[in-house]
């Protein structure tokens, strides 16, 4: 399982998108997964994997 970094055409927006996810992602803030802006780099939008893989890579869901 891996992630890809994409730039939205015509903008400075960057999108970190899970590759081969269960559902295809849209390279934009309107994606179904409700991408979140990175805390340190707001141009970076982090998408949420439908298969939950980010829970293992980001360690942010320990409280849930």
With CB under 5 A as the rule, give the number of residues binding Zn ion.
4
DSSP string, the chain: --EEEEEPTTSS-EEEEETT-SSPPPSSTT-TT--EE-SS-TTEEE---TT-THHHHH---TT-
Q: Among residues 16, 31, 44, 55, which is the contact residue for Zn ion, using CB under 5 A?
A: 31
The interface region with Zn ion, picked from 5-13, 37-45, 46-54, 56-64 by CB under 5 A, is 46-54
Any contact of residue 16 with Zn ion (CB under 5 A)? no
Nearer to Zn ion, 14 or 31 (CB): 31
């Amino acid at each position: 399982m891996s992630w890809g970094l994409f730039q939205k055409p015509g903008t400075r927006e960057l999108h970190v998108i899970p590759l081969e996810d269960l559902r295809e992602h849209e390279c934009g803030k309107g994606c179904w997964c409700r991408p979140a802006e990175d805390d340190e780099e707001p141009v970076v939008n982090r998408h949420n994997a439908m298969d939950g893989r980010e829970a293992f890579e980001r360690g942010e869901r320990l409280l849930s």
